[in-house]
A and B are shown apart, each in its own frame.
Chain A
Amino acid sequence: MTEFLQRLGHTLPHLQQSPALSVLLTLIAYFVAVAVFRKLRQPVWCPPVLLAGLLLAAMLWLGSISYPNYQAGATWLTFLLGPATVALGVPLYQQFHHVRALWKPILVTIPLAATVAVIYALAIAWALGGSSEVLASLAPKSVTAPIAIGINQQIGGSVSLLMGGLLVTGVVASLFVDWLASRLGITDDRLIGLTLGINGHAIGTVRAFEISAQAGAFSSLGMGLTGIFTALTLPIALQLLNIL
């Protein structure tokens, strides 16, 4: 009996050695968050990714599973971000006729908006005493996660802080687009979609698809082009400035 109790105590540590537990907990948090989100009638201020993150953090804390331990198992999921980045090329190709129809405004806006998004955030964080590690972590904040992680590997900084930054940016960008668009009397779904994708990456794009399919398509486009532009320019710009 005592031997059984001893083994019982060692069961959770044993299970932690396999990736199955990490993947299982992530999937549970994901499905519960999506269900709760639908129950709450899809509030803009509380997207599934925020719910899922909180839920997962609570589960890890309750199970006293350390983050590095969890993360090691979850590489089975995070590995898929690589092919998922490549996959973004398919909607980009499919929406290419939109680019052709609106190529001028899109080609002017994306480099401008992607650049000021980085400059505004970094200037404010720097003025408030952010260290160079913090600034590097926040720089790709408006870029969709798989591309942002690629940028992070180039420029350095904390991946966890970057992902938290992506979460906050995506959530508040969706809120601000809703609020500012109605204040400015903007009702064009193409314009709202582009703004969501440029500033709010995947979280903004999920929001755009809630508005309309057209907003969603333009948001995917804005997200993809912002990601490409930032990935191509940010590491080189920082290298040139040599500020990090």
Chain B
Amino acid sequence: MPMLRGFLTLLLFLILGEGLRFMFSWPVSGGVIGMLLLTSWLMLTGGASDALANASQQLISILILLIMPGVVGVFFLGDRFDGQWTAVVVGLIAGTFLSVLTTLLVLRRLISKQPAGERCD
């Protein structure tokens, strides 16, 4: 039951986000708007109920299960992207290598400038 009550809250914010997205034709998905609304709501009201925290944690812990039906589609693309696989694979791997390197260097530079007191959280 508590799990369902949390799920109800999530669905309410999802519908609210999707409704706003449609009404104002925002280029962002209803889920993202719902997430931002939920975060703001929690900051205003000062906390997530156990039911909501539970339901959220359960859903997030099965994210991999939820993306599997989409992921497996890549094995059934057939010849639709023939001749472009080099672009796809090199773009993904080299692009990710460069962005990981950039992120690490930028963060190291910025965080090492923080006072020592703030470093040990």
Name A residues whose Cβ lies closer than 8 Å to a Cβ of B: 22, 26-27, 29-30, 48-49, 52-54, 56-57, 60, 67, 70-71, 74-75, 77-78, 80-94, 96, 98, 101-102, 104-105, 108-109, 112-113, 116-117, 120-126, 128-131, 134, 138, 141-142, 144-147, 149-151, 153-154, 158-169, 172-173, 176-177, 180-181, 184, 186, 188, 190-191, 194-195, 198-199, 202-203, 206, 214, 224, 227-228, 231-232, 235-236, 239
Name B residues whose Cβ lies closer than 8 Å to a Cβ of A: 7, 10-11, 13-14, 17, 27-32, 34-39, 42-43, 48, 52-53, 55-57, 59-60, 62-77, 80-81, 83-84, 86-108, 110-111, 114, 118-119, 121
Task: Report the nearest A residue to B101, measured CB to CB.
Answer: A180
- Which chain A positions have C-beta within 8 A of B13? 86, 89
- Which chain A positions have C-beta within 8 A of B29? 85, 147, 149-151, 153-154, 231
Cα A18 to Cα B72 in complex, Å, equals 19
The answer to whether B88 touches A134, judged by C-beta atoms less than 8 angstroms apart, is yes
The answer to whether A235 touches B27, judged by C-beta atoms less than 8 angstroms apart, is yes
What are 6 A-B pairs with beta-carbon distances under 8 A?
Answer: A113-B103, A154-B29, A158-B81, A161-B74, A214-B121, A228-B36
The answer to whether B88 touches A125, judged by C-beta atoms less than 8 angstroms apart, is yes
The answer to whether A158 touches B77, judged by C-beta atoms less than 8 angstroms apart, is yes
Cα A110 to Cα B101 in complex, Å, equals 14
4 A-B pairs closest in CB distance: A150-B29, A164-B74, A121-B95, A125-B91
The answer to whether B31 touches A85, judged by C-beta atoms less than 8 angstroms apart, is yes
Cα A184 to Cα B101 in complex, Å, equals 10
The answer to whether A29 touches B68, judged by C-beta atoms less than 8 angstroms apart, is yes
- Which chain B positions have C-beta within 8 A of A169? 92, 96
Extra pairs beyond A82-B31, A173-B96 (17, CB < 8 Å): A53-B74, A82-B30, A82-B34, A85-B29, A85-B34, A85-B35, A87-B57, A89-B13, A89-B38, A89-B56, A138-B92, A147-B31, A159-B73, A163-B73, A177-B104, A191-B111, A228-B35
- Which chain B positions have C-beta within 8 A of A96? 43
The answer to whether B32 touches A231, judged by C-beta atoms less than 8 angstroms apart, is yes
A144 CB, nearest partner CB in chain B, Å:
7
Beyond A83-B14, A113-B103, A190-B121, is A108–B110 a contact (Cβ under 8 Å)?
Answer: yes
Task: Report the nearest A residue to B28, measured CB to CB.
Answer: A231
- Which chain A positions have C-beta within 8 A of B63? 84, 144-146, 202
The answer to whether B110 touches A122, judged by C-beta atoms less than 8 angstroms apart, is no
Task: Report the nearest A residue to B54, measured CB to CB.
Answer: A90
Most buried by B among A154, A166, A231: A231
A157 CB, nearest partner CB in chain B, Å:
11
Beyond A144-B63, A186-B108, is A120–B98 a contact (Cβ under 8 Å)?
Answer: yes
